[in-house]
């Protein structure tokens, strides 16, 4: 595949607003999950006074919670992508804001768990929507371009999350909530431009 061909596919991807909005919105949700459940969770648990042994047990729970993705397809069928996806963004945003104000260990674990579950349920739905939104014949290259866009977003959000966490953990969690609200707007805008409701 030539460099020129890659540029053509990139241009088609960037001008495909349905795809661009969908992958940007979904990427924001996944980055909130990645940052909170991998990097900020331990700070949150420490703030809540949890012991190292208890934190280790919670990690097992978080790993097992990834299995919820098997419920994504049936829930999407019942609730429809627009409503189901929007609920996941809103719940994730609520969880972030809940983590800002709590120092309770149970609430802290529950908040982080909700973020993890929302991302897990969004993964299969997001992949399906992304595939349906691709209009170019060269789907493999378009998917690679989509991944590149998501990675660029990840670099930006990780930098901001890191700086805010150095300043104040609550500010980083607030930023996560903001990204989810921004994400749901992008997600719904992307769906408006498709026939997949």
The range of the structural domain enclosing residue 171 comes to: 3-192
Q: Does 107 fall in a domain?
A: yes
In the block, residue with structure tokens 């991302």 = 119
Q: Does 197 fall in a domain?
A: no
Handedness of CA 57, 62, 66, 68 (dihedral sign): positive
User: Regarding predicted confidence, which is higher, 140 or 123?
Assistant: 123
Q: Does 100 fall in a domain?
A: yes
Q: Does 92 fall in a domain?
A: yes
Per-residue pLDDT averaged across 123-147, rounded? 81
User: Regarding predicted confidence, which is higher, 40 or 20?
Assistant: 40
Token pair in block for residue 121: 């349920």
Helix axes 105-133, 72-79, angle to 10 degrees: 70
Per-residue pLDDT averaged across 170-192, rounded? 96
Please enumerate in sequence order all residues whose Cβ is within 8 A of that of 56, keeping only pairs 6 or more positions apart, or say none: none
CA 170, CA 99: separation in Å to the nearest integer? 7
DSSP 40: I
CB 109 within 8 A of CB 61: yes
Least confident of 53-67, 101-115, 133-147, 174-188: 133-147
List, for residues 93-134, the tens digit of each pLDDT value: 999 999 999 999 999 999 999 999 999 999 999 999 988 887
List, for residues 48-57, the tens digit of each pLDDT value: 999 999 999 9
pTM: 0.92
Least confident of 18-22, 32-36, 74-78, 123-127: 18-22
Report the number of distinct structural domains present in the chain. Answer: 1
Q: Does 179 fall in a domain?
A: yes
CATH of residue 9's domain is 1.20.1250.20
Query: Maximum CA pair distance of the chain?
Result: 56
Q: Does 176 fall in a domain?
A: yes
Q: Does 183 fall in a domain?
A: yes
Per-residue pLDDT averaged across 154-163, rounded? 94
């Amino acid at each position: 595949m030539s460099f020129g061909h890659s540029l053509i596919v990139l241009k088609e991807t960037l001008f495909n607003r349905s795809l661009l909005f969908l992958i940007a919105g979904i990427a924001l949700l996944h980055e909130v999950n990645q940052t909170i459940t991998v990097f900020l969770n331990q700070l949150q648990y420490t703030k809540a006074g949890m012991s190292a042994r208890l934190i280790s047990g919670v990690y097992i729970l978080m790993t097992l919670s990834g299995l919820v993705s098997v419920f994504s397809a049936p829930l999407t069928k019942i609730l429809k992508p627009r409503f189901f996806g929007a609920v996941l963004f809103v719940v994730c945003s609520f969880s972030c804001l809940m983590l800002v104000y709590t120092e309770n260990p149970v609430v802290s674990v529950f908040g982080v768990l909700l973020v993890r579950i929302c991302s897990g349920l969004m993964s299969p739905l997001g992949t399906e929507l992304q595939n349906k939104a691709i209009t170019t014949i060269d789907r493999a290259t378009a998917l690679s371009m989509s991944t590149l866009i998501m990675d660029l977003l990840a670099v930006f959000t990780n930098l901001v999350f890191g700086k805010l966490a150095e300043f104040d953990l609550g500010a980083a969690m607030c930023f996560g909530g903001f990204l989810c609200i921004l994400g749901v707007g992008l997600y719904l805008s992307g769906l408006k431009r498709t026939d997949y409701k």
